[in-house]
């Protein structure tokens, strides 16, 4: 198992899901992929398929309609998995906390490992959040990072 655990830490694939965010955090997540921030240097690649993903990056507050989709996606990601909630909305509901269609933060539906606050969260903070998630995963699996 050693090599699988180690390589998972060295090349985590992330999947991004937008609940009902304003897009601000989504474009910052995408900005992380582009030349200036370039998270590929950590071996991180953005994936469209939950079955291939290790880290689920969620932006936006959960509303009544996306709650089911989010739960489905989470269930489809193979274990071990990490969830990073990006943006104040995803952490707690943010500015939308009193909207009638909003249930609240992502942790209302699925367990969250790392919270990245900020509206919009800066790319540096997002990268930091993903790296924190990886450290947590490494610790869980007992491998050095």
Partner 1 sequence: MSKVVRTVAPFGPQHPVLPEPIQLKITCEDEKVVDVVPAIGYCHRGIEKACELNDFPKNIYICERICGICSCIHGCSYCEVIERLFGVEIPPRAKYLRVIWSEMSRIHSHLLWLGLLADAFGLESMFMQFWRIREKILDAMELTTGQRVTQSVSIIGGVRRDIDSEQQKKCIDIVREVKKETEELGKVLMNDYTVKARTVGKGILTREQAITLGCAGPTLRGSDVAEDCRMQGYQAYGELGFEPIVEKDGDSYARAVVRLRETLQSCDLILEAFSKIPEGEISIKVKGNPPANEAVFRAEQPRGEVFYYAKGNGTRNLERLKVRTPTFANIPALLVMLPGCELADVPVIVLSIDPCISCTER
Question: Which chain residues interact with ligand SF4 by CB under 6 A?
Answer: 21-22, 24-25, 59-60, 87-89, 94-95, 119-120
Site string for partner 1, 25-54 (x = CB under 8 A): xxxxxxx--xxx-----------x-x----
Angle at 46 between CA 33 and CA 83, to 5 degrees: 110
100 binds partner 1 (CB under 8 A): yes
- Check whether the bond before 139 is cis (ω within 30° of 0): no
- Rounded to the nearest whole angstrom, what is the least distance from the CB of residue 86 to ligand SF4 in the complex? 7
- Rounded to the nearest whole angstrom, what is the least distance from the CB of residue 144 to partner 1 in the complex? 32
| Alpha-carbon span 113 to 107, nearest angstrom | 9
23 binds partner 1 (CB under 8 A): yes
Q: Are 130 and 57 in contact (CB under 8 A)?
A: yes
- Strands 102-104 and 62-63 come out as antiparallel
Q: Are 5 and 143 in contact (CB under 8 A)?
A: yes
Size of the site for partner 1 (CB under 8 A): 39
Pick 34 or 135: Cβ nearer partner 1: 34
Angle at 79 between CA 59 and CA 26, to 5 degrees: 15
Residue numbers of the site for partner 1 (CB under 8 A)? Answer: 16-31, 34-36, 48, 50, 60-61, 63, 65-66, 69, 73, 94-96, 98-102, 119-120, 122
């Amino acid at each position: 198992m050693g090599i699988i655990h180690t390589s998972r830490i060295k090349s985590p694939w992330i999947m991004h899901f937008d609940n009902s965010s304003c897009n601000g955090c989504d474009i910052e997540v995408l900005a992380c992929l582009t030349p200036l921030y370039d998270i590929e240097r950590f071996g991180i690649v953005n994936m469209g398929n939950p079955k291939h993903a290790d880290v689920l990056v969620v932006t936006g507050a959960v509303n009544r309609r996306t709650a089911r989709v989010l739960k489905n996606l989470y269930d489809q990601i193979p274990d071990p998995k990490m969830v990073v909630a990006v943006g104040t909305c995803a952490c707690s509901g943010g500015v939308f906390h009193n909207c009638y269609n909003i249930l609240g933060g992502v942790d209302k539906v699925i367990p969250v490992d790392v919270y990245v606050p900020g509206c919009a969260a800066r790319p540096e903070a997002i990268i930091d959040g993903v790296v924190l998630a990886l450290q947590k995963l490494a610790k869980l699996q007992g491998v050095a990072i």
